[in-house]
A and B are shown apart, each in its own frame.
Chain A
């Protein structure tokens, strides 16, 4: 963590109790500056497409802090095309928390959450979100919209926030299996959700705007699949944060024109890279813990190791039909590998790990994610029986106190050594 970020975090820590609105302004200014700086003069060797994505996500997070009561709080798997079509900003728990952690200010919000009775075993993304809201830093959203998958935490944290602020909440109940009955059940709920949004915001959905959002969705998905095809034979010097940013692009931001543009840029960037590989190629399962400094030192812009994909980004890449938006979005929900039992996720991860020529899989057990934790040994056995060495790595995506730091790095480095990675002096420089 840089000294400037550290100092910023300490300042915020002191200001939050008495001046939450000042903190809100400071965070917005910091995100906006960082987004602009990364787009124009990045401090890291980012592809042009990634620089654009960093800018996009920082801008989106800033809009979430606008105190105009116009945003909708959503979970990462809620399809947001209707919101994009209506010009409503989705605020996603994981995005808010990642950015707070990036600014080194998450500790205070974790403390607030714990003090307010939130169990410390709960997913830290949601603990930080709750702390940020209950500290008065994140403004009151207009709506809360969430699906019941992919985790229990959605039910708990969003319900609590809805009660805390007395905010209208709509929940999309997602059955486990993709059947025609279930498709109708979910599609009907998505229609009902649209009516709910219209009722509570006074805005009217323009069907043509939704069709356009679906077209951008389809374009983005096609570009992302082209990117993955190019990734199979190319090395990309990248970092964990970059892969995590794609989670926003492949989920809640999907359907925006800017994301269609980003995906097209990404595919073009990859196509320009030379073919070849350097060192172990890892496929990552679950969130990427960019708070863990020793892990970042091992993985970010290493030159001899690369993360070739993440199951959050490959969860569902099926086509959508712009003429049937609700059925298409319902199908995306039901066929997501995160829906249903752990077998879906494991099989899908294996499929993409093979497709991307991964040498090994890192199965990241984010503290608080019971579904991931519970499936860890099954997944390891499944992958290894099929010839893919697997590291089950415990840690936390955004709580430094739970990130494991050195312990996680020992495991990962040993795993890399197992895959043939050489951590000699020449590579440590």
Chain B
């Protein structure tokens, strides 16, 4: 089977060359693979396409350079080694002039390359037979259009099931209607010329230069309302939506599809309200059972307000800083940083890790022995957190600042720690600390309050590579903390409650805003806290495993940071990685320990 997804794909030609075209337009269970080979902020449909190509083990694909995400996907698939045949059709943006000839030559190129691959030649009879006798008719009675960017099959079914009128798919992928090849033309060249003209005459998608004929879509007889879809991280249709919302008098509902499966509560509410308040309300059918869909509801013509909440880089959509309340001892210590504890020396060196949530400090004696470590809340300023850490060290270890001969600061607040002798990133420090704790470690997974990172270590313990999470709080300790608040439990409880799950729920998004909506829907659906937390743990594990994939992580894995104490996340992550994780006894101190070791190097 040869995968395709754009309506401009010459599927009839593929069929005439012996191919079995497969329209790939369904949502994916997750984007684990897609994120590891592309980026989480490219078109979600394209991410689903990449995911399906891998999951379904497809060997052939015919793509169109319809958008930037698709152009990138071509490079990724071509170089993945997964496909035996891949083709990128260069579709002109213009219709008229030489563009038909340009497209015709592309069709000829495809026929040559695919024919050679399939060891077939063009069959005009098969080509003609591939064209439908008649295109799919629009409903004869009043209907509602799903318009804008493509929708997955399941989302279309969900919308159809929840609206009282017949639904027509007028999205970019749903308006493919070609005429039959004219009789009397059998010459391949002439047929391709006709075919190019026919493809260019399709109702244009927003990628084309002239989109004026799209207006006809919204003036069809019987059209009673529009559900307008935009695909997450595809910008094309937001522009049309904006002009449509200003120009149409029809009831209009905007949704946003992310091509992931989610529960239908939110969509049900939106479509229900749309049906109740729109002009076609009296035709509404009875209550219908919820199903699955892939969407994020956004705004509605009625209110005219933008209601979508998207995570954006640098905006974490979170509240004030707080403390991760993780119960210690749940996961047990498998290694102990105090292994080299011995007598105190005359002077000390220290490392201080100033994080967004906690500040951690480790003190070593001048001869390299481990004296101890402390963890305090950072509070409103990094300098305040550092002062608290010094006070705690004085109280717990009897060492004051004046006795510390060399101090290395790390973490987000590293440049704000007063009098530090050196500032080093937590990447370098975590690597150093982890390898010191366990000499076998090759990959460090650190999930802190604000970010998560995966660090690959070279044989000598230096940083080979590292990756960090997106700019939002997705998959971090902060994410879990916010979800705990939504579930009205503390983080310590949350870390174990998910272990007792009964029903395997999937929470698709680790965007704090989207996930919170999902959790609220699940609560309303009477799901148990254990099942919901388990779903959240899986989501965090998926995100983290994707990071590990990007870093080409290899065993042995060590997990550090506060989330290492979350047994539920650890368990799911171990499942995802297929490996046991090494958990230090004091996972929060790993970065500070690395900093202290660097201080020791410099002091010497």
Tell me the A residues contacting B by CB distance below 8 Å. 114, 116-122, 148, 151-153, 155-156, 159-160, 163, 171, 173, 175-177, 181-182, 184-185, 188, 340-343, 346, 365, 367-371, 373-378, 382, 384, 389, 392, 394-396, 400-407, 410-411, 413-414, 417-418, 423-425, 428
Contacts and interface: CB of A to CB of B under 8 A. Distances in A.
Nearest to A401: B314
Interface of B: 36-39, 41-43, 46, 65, 67-69, 71-76, 78-79, 88, 90, 92-94, 97-99, 101-102, 105, 206-207, 209, 211, 230, 232-233, 235-236, 238-239, 241-243, 245, 306, 310, 312-315, 412, 415, 421-428, 451, 462-463, 465-468, 470-471, 550, 602
A402 B245 contact: no
A181 B415 CA distance: 58
Given A119-B238, A185-B102, A395-B313, 20 more contacts: A148-B209, A171-B93, A176-B90, A341-B71, A365-B41, A373-B72, A374-B68, A374-B71, A374-B73, A375-B75, A377-B38, A377-B76, A377-B550, A394-B313, A405-B314, A407-B471, A411-B468, A418-B463, A423-B422, A423-B424
Contacts of B428: 414, 417-418
A9 B398 CA distance: 50
Given A377-B38, A402-B313, A417-B428, A152 B235 contact: yes
A404 B98 contact: no
A376 B39 contact: yes
Max chain B C-beta neighbours (<10 A), residue from A153, A377, A411: A377
Contacts of B99: 173, 185
A367 B313 contact: yes
Contacts of B310: 120-121
A153 B233 CA distance: 12
Contact of A377 (B39, B93, B94, B471): B39
Contacts of B69: 370-371, 374
A153 B314 CA distance: 22
Max chain B C-beta neighbours (<10 A), residue from A116, A163, A175: A175
Contacts of B73: 374
Contact of A173 (B38, B93, B468): B93
A403 B550 contact: no
A402 B314 contact: yes
A117 B241 contact: yes
Contacts of A175: 90, 92, 102
Contacts of B105: 181
A340 B238 CA distance: 25
Given A116-B242, A395-B313, A401-B314, A176 B88 contact: yes
Contacts of B98: 181, 184-185, 188
Contact of A410 (B72, B206, B239, B426): B426
Given A120-B310, A374-B76, A414-B427, A171 B233 contact: no
Contacts of B471: 394-395, 402, 404, 407
Contacts of B421: 424-425
Contacts of B72: 341-342, 370-371, 373-375, 378
Contact of A341 (B75, B233, B312, B466): B75
A15 to B, nearest CB: 26
A75 to B, nearest CB: 13
Contacts of B422: 423-425
A181 B313 contact: no
13 contacts: A117-B238, A117-B245, A120-B312, A155-B93, A159-B239, A341-B65, A371-B72, A373-B39, A374-B76, A401-B314, A404-B313, A404-B314, A414-B466
Contacts of A185: 98-99, 102
Contact of B37 (A116, A148, A378): A378
Nearest to A392: B467
A414 B425 contact: yes
Given A117-B245, A341-B75, A374 B314 contact: no
B315 A417 contact: no
Given A120-B310, A367-B312, A402-B314, A155 B207 contact: yes
B72 to A, nearest CB: 2
A375 to B, nearest CB: 5
- Give 8 nearest A-B pairs by CB, closest first: A374-B72, A117-B242, A414-B427, A370-B68, A371-B68, A119-B238, A373-B39, A342-B75
A402 B102 contact: no
Contact of B74 (A163, A341, A403, A410): A341
B561 to A, nearest CB: 14
A41 to B, nearest CB: 31
B496 to A, nearest CB: 30
Contacts of A389: 465
B235 A181 contact: no
B235 A121 contact: yes
A375 B415 CA distance: 33
Contact of A171 (B94, B230, B470): B94
A343 B75 contact: yes
Contacts of A151: 68
Contacts of A424: 421-422, 602
Contacts of A418: 428, 462-463, 466
A381 B72 CA distance: 14
A423 B425 CA distance: 9
A181 B377 CA distance: 66
A417 B427 CA distance: 10
A396 B428 CA distance: 25
Contact of B65 (A176, A369, A404, A417): A176
B405 to A, nearest CB: 14
Nearest to B77: A378
A401 B310 CA distance: 13
B592 to A, nearest CB: 16
A417 B235 contact: no
A374 B65 contact: no
Nearest to A176: B90
B102 A341 contact: no
Nearest to B79: A378
B76 A378 contact: yes
B108 to A, nearest CB: 11
Nearest to A381: B79
A396 B69 CA distance: 18
A376 B34 CA distance: 12
A402 B76 contact: no
A423 B415 CA distance: 11
Contacts of B68: 151-152, 369-371, 374
A120 B92 CA distance: 27
Nearest to B420: A425
A254 to B, nearest CB: 24
B259 to A, nearest CB: 15
Contacts of B88: 176, 341
Max chain A C-beta neighbours (<10 A), residue from B39, B233, B422: B39
Contacts of B97: 188
B198 to A, nearest CB: 19
Nearest to B72: A374
A406 B306 CA distance: 30
Given A156-B239, A181-B102, A414-B427, A370 B92 contact: no
B559 to A, nearest CB: 19
Nearest to A153: B235
Contacts of A402: 312-315, 471
Given A156-B235, A396-B313, A417-B425, A374 B468 contact: no
B313 A377 contact: no
Nearest to A184: B98
A395 B471 CA distance: 8
A52 B603 CA distance: 47
A373 B236 CA distance: 17
A368 B233 CA distance: 8
B101 to A, nearest CB: 7
B277 to A, nearest CB: 22
Contacts of A148: 93, 209
Given A171-B209, A181-B102, A414-B425, A407 B312 contact: no
A295 to B, nearest CB: 13
